[in-house]
Homo-oligomer: A and B are copies of this chain.
Amino acid sequence: MSTHGEDETDAGVSTTRKTFEILEALKAEEGVTITELTRRTGLSKSTVYRHLATLTDLGYVVERDGGYYIGFRLLEISEQARTRKTGYTAAKRKVFELGQETDERAVFIVEEEGEGVYVHRYGSLADTMIGKRRPLHSLASGKVILAEWNDDAVREFVAENGLEAITDNTITDPDVLHDELDRIRERGYAVNNQEHMDGLRGVAVPVYTPDDEFLGALGVFGPASRFKDDYLHEELPSLLWDKAGEIKVTLAYG
């Protein structure tokens, strides 16, 4: 708790908090019963009942044969975030092409609230579920994002979030991170050498709009055994640059 350094009280609407507590519990396990939800949330049975009645009435939750499920109506809302910028939509297609052409896993990542969010992906690693959030310093795409920031912003990021060691290879020293970001700015691509998961390597490049606004990072990753140096530092970066360039072109001319 106190590690966050936040002085935010839990102000606001506590009823709304309960609603989302229930939704998050449903996200964790669907098709579950009311009494099961009371167990997981610690709320009283009548409260859960009343909230679920509201949510199903609004269509955000669906009941089917005694179990409750997240409804597709939430998808409609969240899709707004995903299509906020046309560049995000353009990136979607490029992620797919990348996945198909390389036969590796591909992602498009965007920053929100100091974390990396998977916005598009190709390949079925449960870990890269869309909407999932990861610490920026442990991902190739995340380092690309950090490399876009100035020193002060990076310093602030480190101060707020720290540099947690996800694996033995994760960068935990601010100075090392600083040098790494410099290298990324110079090269134009970032590499991840098992800093997020053992045995996993990746590459990522920044994506810009035609007027050079930064959009997010386009990345490819896979097993270290296959991601040898020439593949990682030659072939993939140039392919990624091509795709990032195509996004820019798409945005410029329909």
A20 to B117, CA, bound (A): 23
A112 touches B72 (CB 8 A): yes
Copies in the complex: 2
Encoded as 1 (CB less than 8 Å from any B CB) or 0, chain A from 45 to 64 comes to 00000110111011110100
B72 touches A74 (CB 8 A): no
Encoded as 1 (CB less than 8 Å from any B CB) or 0, chain A from 65 to 83 comes to 0000111111111111111
Task: Check A3 for interface membership: any CB of B closer than 8 A.
Answer: no
The chain B residue sitting closest to A110, CB to CB, is B72
B75 touches A70 (CB 8 A): no
Kindly specify which of A23-31, A167-175, A219-227, A230-238 makes contact with the partner chain: A23-31
Chain A interface residue count, Cβ-Cβ cutoff 8 angstroms: 54
> Which B residues lie within 8 Å of A55 (CB)?
16
> Which B residues lie within 8 Å of A75 (CB)?
78-79, 81-82, 117, 119, 130-131
A62 to B69, CA, bound (A): 26
Kindly specify which of A6-14, A138-146, A177-185, A203-211 makes contact with the partner chain: A6-14
A62 to B80, CA, bound (A): 13
Given contacts A58-B20, A113-B59, contact A11 B53 (CB under 8 A): yes
> Which B residues lie within 8 Å of A12 (CB)?
50-51, 53-54, 57
> Which B residues lie within 8 Å of A23 (CB)?
77
> Which B residues lie within 8 Å of A15 (CB)?
13, 15-16
> Which B residues lie within 8 Å of A112 (CB)?
62, 71-72
Task: Check A2 for interface membership: any CB of B closer than 8 A.
Answer: no
A174 to B61, CA, bound (A): 30
- 10 smallest CB-CB distances across A and B, nearest first, come from A12-B54, A76-B131, A75-B131, A74-B78, A75-B78, A15-B15, A70-B81, A78-B78, A13-B54, A72-B117
* Interface contacts beyond A69-B81, A71-B113, A72-B81: sample of 16 additional A-B pairs, CB < 8 Å, sorted by A: A8-B57, A11-B54, A12-B51, A13-B51, A16-B55, A27-B77, A27-B80, A70-B80, A70-B81, A72-B133, A74-B131, A75-B78, A76-B129, A76-B133, A78-B79, A79-B131
